[in-house]
Amino acid sequence: MQKRIVVYRPLPEDLLAELKRDFHVEDFGHLDDLDDPAFRAALSEAHGLLGAGQKITAEILDAAPQLETISSVSVGVDAYPVEELTRRDIQLCHTPDVLTETTADTGFLLIMATARRAMELADLIRRGDWQASIGEAHYGSDVHGKTLGMVGMGRIGAAIARRGALGFGMRILYSNASPKPALEEELGARRRELDELLAEADFVCVTVPLSAETERLIGQRELGLMRDSAILINIARGKVVDETALIEALNAGRIRAAGLDVFEREPLPADSPLSHMANVVALPHIGSATHETRHAMARRAVDNLRLALSGERPISPFNDPARLPA
């Protein structure tokens, strides 16, 4: 009997066809509502689930009694109840590595765009307001030679730090649960307590995964420690930063600008001040969104799922249900 897979995020045609050769696939394309009755019916018989972005709850797992594996088309796993999955002996897989460099590019895009006020000044041209050579009121600030403070120094954090140190001659500080001696050696990076990093950095770049420990890690107090000339970049998850406190800090000039690819609520509500503040560059969660990388992520998710459902070790498992303590 073929195992059954439910897909709730669009997959490239070639990968969908590949999955269909080995499995019974029910493809829901882009599914916004996981309460959809047809999805729930499919879940009741599913052995594998492939998707991303949607919150998977214990209640959804109850509706999927045969489920063996969830393969997420993402590196972040904050949408999944990881302990609950492990307790139920369900394998969770994700897509690290293949998106590291693209997401680091996005981080650097935000560093450059905020520092040099690229969107604000490009808008000036769009409005037809470039009437004379620009003056001090429109100057940005340098990126090269400045201090880049990485909040989190995982794969993506390291890739941004590498761009900063090797491409732009930046001094790198980082706060991370564990020291990174190899990166200290390679990039001259220095580990700091978060408070010290916030006080010293010209750019504070958040790359930590969202967890109970990191939710609202950057709040009013932390923003208050930053220099008034500093710029905050968030490419991790919106909830790592207290958005209300951020808006206040930006409005009060307590920090210079923010470059944001992620928000507390996504899509960002149109009436959010962040959507139109001059000192904010807001992107619609495009961290990994290139043709090449999204295909590579889907490829990895399909491979993970196929391996796990065939009883083999997936390429990038997130949890380890087999090693569950009794």
Interface ranges with ligand 8YV (CB under 6 A): 52-53, 73-76, 99, 285, 287-288
Active site residues: 237, 266, 285
Rounded CA separation 199/134 (Å): 31
Minimum distance, C-beta of residue 165 to ligand 8YV, in the bound complex (Å): 24
What three-state secondary structure class fits 61?
helix
Q: Are 236 and 262 in contact (CB under 8 A)?
A: yes
| CB neighbour list of residue 135: distance below 8 Å, 6 or more residues apart | none
| CB neighbour list of residue 175: distance below 8 Å, 6 or more residues apart | 149, 150, 151, 152, 153, 191, 192, 193, 194, 197
Look at residues 1, 32, 22, 2 and name the one whose alpha carbon lies nearest to residue 302: 22
Query: Torsions phi, psi of 300, nearest 5?
Result: -65, -40
Minimum distance, C-beta of residue 288 to ligand 8YV, in the bound complex (Å): 3
Look at residues 117, 102, 115 and name the one whose alpha carbon lies nearest to residue 144: 115
Look at residues 107, 204, 241 and name the one whose alpha carbon lies nearest to residue 162: 107
Minimum distance, C-beta of residue 287 to ligand 8YV, in the bound complex (Å): 5
Look at residues 192, 244, 245, 238 and name the one whose alpha carbon lies nearest to residue 223: 245
Q: Are 287 and 260 in contact (CB under 8 A)?
A: no
Instruction: Give me the amino acid identity at 74.
Output: S
